[in-house]
Structure 1
């Protein structure tokens, strides 16, 4: 467990956008499919709902990928992020695209993790975690996380 903690501490230093550097424009909630993760990484499907501060809820599908140490089984999780943009004028489909960032997570029973990601329209959208992962299972992950979001019409 000491090795796992050292690995996590090494990846937990994530550059986070300052809260004053953007505007919170909504919340993104994604359900992650359950499944096995392997030593070199994992890819799992996402089903997401974006609730903008103004306007109608948008649906997205996609996938989350971890590259690095990722071993174990998870029964799935719900991940929730605050969506931060440079201005409050965010168009429809603005969340569509690729996001990247560092992640660290340990789960034994009910898990907890941190996932800060930047991407979307012109790499101007920041997804800042507001709710930790809640999957159950036994899993250890440390590495780089990437998400691809596709707008559902």
Structure 2
């Protein structure tokens, strides 16, 4: 417990420091939908980790869901072993943007922090892919099991899956 409390405090500090820097300033935004992902478990190797994920995008307008696969890479402190994690992000963009099917494919980057002891929490604020101004904002804190402490930069790579 003595090591988990500092990790949780670091989580809050990292996210509060990163969030303003990643926020879109003076731009009206719209929530396009929700991206729900299952992240495979794995081991953090002190300076980072790479885990596969499978995601479903549910558009807010009720149109057909889209399926994506990819990886989430974390760079920074990442020590421990975790089981599968569930993560959800709100997909947001400038209000004047039009969404095209498959547009979530691409690379995203942002701040990442988590603390896990048996059952834990974490969050990843990820900003735009190279082809658009889409941002992924945490809807719920990730739920995972294992023993892990991580803080640093996260990179998410998504590839569309044809259904």
What TM-score do the two structures reach when normalised by structure 1?
Answer: 0.90
Unaligned residue ranges in structure 1 (runs of 5+): none
Out of 98, 101, 120, the residue aligned to residue 92 of structure 1 is 101
Per-residue CA distance 1:75-106 (angstroms, 9 max, x = gap): 11010000001136200111110000011111
Residue 134 of structure 1 corresponds to which residue in structure 2?
143
Query: Conserved in 2, the CA contact under 8 Å of 1:111 and 1:136?
Result: yes
Query: Conserved in 2, the CA contact under 8 Å of 1:95 and 1:121?
Result: no
Dislocated runs of 4+, deviation >2 Å: 1-12, 15-21, 120-123
1:59 aligns with 2:59: no
Per-residue CA distance 1:34-53 (angstroms, 9 max, x = gap): 11111010000010000011
CA distance in 2 between partners of 1:59 and 1:129 (Å): 19
Cα drift, residue 121 of structure 1 = 5.5
Alignment of 1:1-153 (within 5 A): 1=3, 4=7, 7-8=10-11, 11-12=14-15, 13-14=17-18, 15-17=21-23, 21-54=28-61, 55-87=63-95, 89-120=98-129, 122-153=131-162
The alignment's C-alpha RMSD in Å is 2.0
